[in-house]
Chains A and B, each alone.
Chain A
Amino acid sequence: MVDEKRDQVTAPGPKVGVYVCHCGGNISDHVDVEKVCEDAKGIPGVVTVKNNMFMCSDPGQQLIMEDLKNGTIDRVVVASCAPSLHESTFRSAISRAGGNPYTYEHANIREQVSWVHHGEGATEKATRLVAAAVGKARELHPLEPFRVDAKRHATVIGGGVAGLRAAKDLADRGIQVVLIEKSPFLGGWTAHWDRLSPTEDDVSELIPELCRQVLDDPAVEVHTCSQVISFEGFIGNFRLGFRKEPPAEGAYAEEIERMKQSGADTGDFIPHVGVCPEPLPEASEEQTVETGVVVLATGFRPYTPRKGEYGYGEIKEVITLPDLIRIIAENRRAGGGQLLQVNGRKIRAMAMIHCVGSRQIPGIHEETEGRPLNQYCSRVCCGATLHAANLIRETHPGTRIFDFYRDIRTYGRGQEEVYEKASDNKVLFFRFEAQDPPEVSGNAGEGDFPVSVKVKDTLTFGEEIETKVDLVVLAVGMEPNDVSDLVEMMKLPVGADRFLLEVHPKLRPVELSVSGVLVAGTSQAPFDVGETCAAASAAAVKASAVLARGGFVELDPFIAEIDMGKCKGTGACVEACIVDGALRMVEMDLDGEKVLRPEVVPALCQGCGACTAVCPENAINVSGWTLKQYEKMVEMIVSEKLAA
Chain B
Amino acid sequence: MTQVNPEFAEKLEDFGVDTTTDCFNCGTCAAICPLIYEHFPRKIIRYVQIGAKDRILDNYEDLWKCLHCGLCIQTCPREADPGDIIMGLRRFVVDQWRRS
Q: B-contacting residues of A (Cβ < 8 Å)?
A: 349, 400, 402, 423-424, 426-429, 431, 454, 457, 459-461, 463-468
Contact = CB atoms under 8 A, between A and B. Distances in A.
Q: Is the interface of A mostly helix, strand, loop or mixed?
A: strand
Chain B: interface size category = 10 to 19
B21 A428 contact: yes
B4 to A, nearest CB: 4
B25 A459 contact: yes
A146 to B, nearest CB: 61
Interface stretch (B43-51, B56-64, B67-75, B87-95): B43-51
A429 B6 contact: no
A428 B4 contact: yes
10 contacts: A400-B6, A426-B6, A428-B21, A460-B43, A460-B52, A461-B39, A461-B43, A465-B2, A466-B2, A466-B4
Contact of B1 (A424, A426, A428, A454): A454
Contacts of A465: 1-4, 50
Contacts of B47: 460
Contact of B21 (A426, A454, A466): A426
Contacts of A464: 1-2
B8 to A, nearest CB: 11
Contact of A467 (B4, B9, B22): B4
B76 to A, nearest CB: 13
A543 B24 CA distance: 47
Interface string B9-22: 10000000000011
B43 A428 contact: no
Contacts of A349: 6
Nearest to A467: B4
B22 A466 contact: no
Given A426-B21, A465-B3, A468-B4, 16 more contacts: A400-B6, A423-B24, A423-B78, A426-B9, A429-B24, A431-B25, A454-B1, A457-B50, A460-B2, A460-B47, A460-B52, A464-B1, A465-B1, A465-B50, A466-B3, A466-B4
A351 to B, nearest CB: 10
A387 to B, nearest CB: 18
A400 B5 CA distance: 11
B39 A428 contact: no
Contacts of B49: 428
Nearest to B9: A426
Given A423-B24, A428-B21, A402 B46 contact: no
Nearest to B43: A461
A463 B2 contact: yes
A459 B49 CA distance: 10
Contacts of A424: 21-22
Contact of A423 (B1, B6, B22, B39): B22
A461 B27 CA distance: 11
Interface string B23-42: 01100000000000001000
A457 B1 CA distance: 11
A427 B4 CA distance: 13
B78 to A, nearest CB: 8
B62 to A, nearest CB: 14
The 3 closest A-B pairs by CB, nearest first: A467-B4, A459-B25, A426-B21
Contacts of A427: 21
A423 B21 CA distance: 6
B79 to A, nearest CB: 11
A466 B24 contact: no
Contacts of A460: 2, 43, 46-47, 50, 52
